[in-house]
């Protein structure tokens, strides 16, 4: 082997050993430095304590973090919304998910990230908020607390929330199907003529190939009937559906008393 080749081989070995050594050092660093934890599939993610997150509240520096449903976002680039004195400073340094629905920017209770009692529509709004933060900002970790534990595992609370979300999706789909079967009618009121109800192929914002006739739909749990359009050719069971007084059975438009 010539002296030149030996030097080249030596250089390659040095590069290889340095990479290997750097990786070892990195993993020792990761193990003994505070935060990164392995969550799933080897993905490292930082688990914040509540105390640690509270440092990034826009009052002690330029870096601003907040959490939504347990996920921590760096919202520094939106500091016009979040810095001290800015309208949404409340959300910083904590998980204040509940106030994203209630608008109660003074809630410092332990329930400020409690959402399981909210209505399905509100839960969907919260999920949309979380998506908005994911799209606009970087997700930098998770919060040890209601949604994740200190090694980054989902808590039973988060599991319950997943179950609720699934139930809400089923509920939404059922409501959508019901709306296709019973689209809302149009309603107008004038002092002169009273209340007019009528159906069209697009009433209730539901496009269809039939017009239908207006009927009152009584739903358990709702105190007033709703005006819906019924397709007489396909509806056989009339159940909780009633005709309007003074309205012909097959009329698509009527003046009624409500
Ligand atoms: C429940 C009530 C409300 C909540 C929880 C809420 C929450 C928020 C949050 C978190 C942001 C910052 C989003 C980001 O980082 O990009 C924001 C932005 C904003 N909000 Fe609200 N907000 C509420 C009500 C309102 C109301 C009533 C108005 C108007 C009268 C309003 C007007 C705005 C505007 C103009 C922005 C800035 C949008 C932008 O720059 O992209 N918000 N809101």
| Residue 225 near ligand 1, beta carbon < 6 Å | no
Place of tokens 């409500």: 258
| DSSP-derived secondary structure for the chain | --HHHHHHHHHHHHHHHHHHHHHHHHHHHHHHSSSEEE-STT-EEEEE-HHHHHT-BSSSSS-BEEEETTEEEE-GGGHHHHSTTSTTGGGBTSB-TTHHHH--TT--STTTT--TTS-HHHHHHHHHHHHHHHHHSEEEEEEBTTTB-TTSPBPHHHHHHHHHHHHHHHHHHHHHHHHHHSPBPEEEEETTTEEEEE--TTGGG---S---EEEEE--TT-SS-EEEEE-TTT----TTEEPPTT--TT-SEEEE--
Expressed in angstroms and rounded, the spacing between residue 116 Cα and the centre of ligand 1 is: 23
Nearest atom of ligand 1 to the alpha carbon of 100: 5
Expressed in angstroms and rounded, the spacing between residue 87 Cα and the centre of ligand 1 is: 8
Place of tokens 């358990």: 220
Nearest atom of ligand 1 to the alpha carbon of 80: 40
Nearest to 105 by CA among 71, 81, 139: 81
Expressed in angstroms and rounded, the spacing between residue 257 Cα and the centre of ligand 1 is: 41
- pLDDT tens, N- to C-terminus, the chain (258 residues): 567 788 888 887 877 777 677 666 665 555 545 555 555 556 678 999 999 999 999 888 789 999 999 999 999 999 999 998 888 999 999 999 999 999 999 999 999 999 999 999 999 999 999 999 999 999 999 999 999 999 999 999 999 999 999 999 999 998 888 888 899 999 999 998 899 999 999 999 999 999 999 999 998 888 899 999 999 988 766 678 999 998 999 999 999 987
Q: Provide the whole-model pTM.
A: 0.73
Q: Distance between CA 142 and CA 72 in Å, rounded?
A: 5
- For ligand 1, atom 43, the nearest C-alpha belongs to 88
| Residue 100 near ligand 1, beta carbon < 6 Å | yes
- Cα separation values, 220 from 2, 67, 117, 228, 241, Å: 93, 38, 21, 15, 12
Place of tokens 């040890």: 144
| Residue 81 near ligand 1, beta carbon < 6 Å | yes
- For ligand 1, atom 34, the nearest C-alpha belongs to 81
């Amino acid at each position: 082997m010539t002296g030149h080749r030996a030097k080249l081989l030596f250089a390659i070995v040095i590069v290889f050993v340095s990479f290997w050594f750097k990786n070892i050092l990195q993993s020792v660093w990761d193990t003994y430095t505070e935060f990164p934890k392995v969550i799933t599939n080897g993905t490292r993610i930082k688990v914040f304590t509540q105390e640690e997150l509270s440092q990034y509240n826009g009052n002690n520096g330029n870096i601003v973090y907040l959490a939504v449903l347990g996920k921590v976002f760096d919202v520094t680039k939106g500091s016009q919304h979040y810095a001290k004195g800015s309208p949404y400073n409340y959300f910083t340094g904590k998980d204040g998910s509940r106030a994203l629905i209630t608008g109660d920017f003074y809630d410092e209770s332990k329930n400020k990230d409690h959402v399981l009692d909210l209505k399905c529509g509100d839960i969907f709004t919260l999920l949309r908020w979380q998506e908005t933060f994911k799209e606009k900002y970087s997700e930098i970790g998770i919060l040890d607390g209601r949604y994740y534990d200190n090694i980054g595992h989902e808590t039973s609370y988060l599991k319950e929330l997943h179950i609720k979300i699934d139930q809400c999706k089923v509920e939404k789909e059922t409501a959508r199907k019901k709306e296709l079967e019973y689209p809302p009618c149009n309603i107008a009121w004038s002092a002169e003529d009273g209340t007019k109800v009528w159906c069209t192929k697009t009433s209730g914002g539901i496009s269809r190939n039939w017009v239908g006739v207006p009927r009152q739909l009584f739903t358990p749990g709702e105190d007033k009937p709703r005006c819906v359009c019924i397709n007489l050719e396909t509806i056989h069971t009339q159940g909780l559906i009633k005709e309007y007084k003074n309205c012909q059975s097959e009329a698509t438009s009527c003046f009624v008393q409500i």
